[in-house]
Amino acid sequence: MPDQTLTDLRRQIDAIDDQILDLLNQRARLVIAVGKAKTDSRGDFYVPSREQAIHARLSAANPGPFPEEGVRRVFREIISASLSLEQPLKVAFLGPQGTFTHVAAMQQFGFSAQLVPIKSIPSIFDEVGRNRANYGVVPVENSNEGVVSHTLDMFMESDLKIIAEVLIEVSHDLLSRSGKIEDVRKVISHPQALGQCRAWLEENLPDVPLVDVASTAQAAQLAAEDEGVAAIASEAAATLYGLRAVKHRIEDNPNNFTRFLVIGRQMPDPGGADKTSIMFSVRDEPGILYRMLEPFSKRGINLSKIESRPMKGRAWEYIFFLDLEGHIRDERIASAIEELHQYCQFLKVLGSYPKAR
């Protein structure tokens, strides 16, 4: 009797799987029609706000027991495969494979996109700017270590736009070929990763030298070649390079997130829950910092971040980067930026894009 019940349940699952497959193909045919409509109207193939709306609607409608995160992952791949039917996407990211930027690119674009590792942040901007890639994914800040200055600097000379942002929870593992802490003779990683694990390393491996390399993924590659080398890298890097965990989650602060920006050539339309990023330089005069913020304060606009960088070639002059809630096409946002503009030597809107979930 139990075997008969199990067989019947499996038949029901098979029937449901057949329905899912049929529905996926129905969806694919509609996606192809959407792609043709976009081509005819010259619309953007990739619309981040549309994806976020799909995820939000399905998460709200999900009664369970299928987990909410599972819904997001399943539809991430459905959307990724659907986009490949409309137009195959080529996405440049800061490589090599196995970096957290790679993880961010996979989270944003799924496995059906062509993800291309690039060696430097300026080269990613160049790939997208020359239309050799549709989009690029670059790190911009970490909740513990601060901003990635190379990324901010690139916006000073690039006309590319921010079209989306991705937040990744950063969890560092200590990885080696053997997985044994007694075999570790040297620890290597990106300087930020080493900094984020400083307390654990001082307590558990106080006499082991720490060596900087270009990325956590490169560290994993090198650890795969030497029994005595341990890398601080992601779980994805361990899988990719055949390493074992000496210790999971060795970061000093478990509340550790890195924010990534997706860059492209066109700014997306408003999606309802947007963020706008601008950069500007102000004239050096009394009270300028107050007047710089007043246009946003009096309109009740929330500023989520403000950062300054030295202006190249001009001592003691600064470029400001500012993130605010809302889209540049919102009248309130546009008027605040226009008022700010009168105090600026220059001002550039870097993009309006959906806020990360």
Mean pLDDT for the chain overall = 87
How does pLDDT run across 97-134, given as a tens digit for each residue? 888 899 899 888 888 888 999 988 999 999 999 999 99
At the second CATH level, the architecture of 173-247 is: 3-Layer(aba) Sandwich (3.40)
Position 147 scores a pLDDT of 78
Position 7 scores a pLDDT of 85
With a cut of 60, say whether residue 274 has pLDDT above it: yes
Q: Is the peptide bond before 270 cis (omega within 30 degrees of 0)?
A: no
CATH 1.20.59.10 intervals, the chain:
2-86
Position 1 scores a pLDDT of 47
Q: Give the DSSP H/E element, type plus range, for residue 263.
A: strand 257-264
**Topology at the third CATH level for domain 2-86:** Chorismate Mutase Domain, subunit A (1.20.59)
Position 277 scores a pLDDT of 95
Catalytic residue list contains 258: yes
The arithmetic mean of pLDDT across residues 263-272, rounded, is 87
With a cut of 90, say whether residue 33 has pLDDT above it: no
Give percent of the chain above pLDDT 90.
48
CATH code that applies to domain 90-170+257-264? 3.40.190.10
CATH 3.40.190.10 intervals, the chain:
90-170+257-264, 173-247
The arithmetic mean of pLDDT across residues 284-307, rounded, is 87
Q: Which of 109, 258, 280, 321 is catalytic?
A: 258
Residue 351 β-bridge partners: 277
Position 107 scores a pLDDT of 87
Superfamily of domain 274-354: ACT domain (3.30.70.260)
Report the chain's terminal Cα–Cα distance, integer Å: 47
Q: Which of 260, 296, 320, 321 is catalytic?
A: 260
C-alpha–C-alpha distance, residues 21 and 36, integer Å? 23
For residue 44, name the pLDDT band (cuts at 50, 70, 90): low
Catalytic residue list contains 320: no
CATH 3.30.70.260 intervals, the chain:
274-354
Position 42 scores a pLDDT of 63
C-alpha–C-alpha distance, residues 9 and 4, integer Å? 9
How does pLDDT run across 161-183, given as a tens digit for each residue? 999 999 988 889 999 999 999 99
With a cut of 90, say whether residue 271 has pLDDT above it: no
How does pLDDT run across 49-67, given as a tens digit for each residue? 777 778 788 888 888 898 8
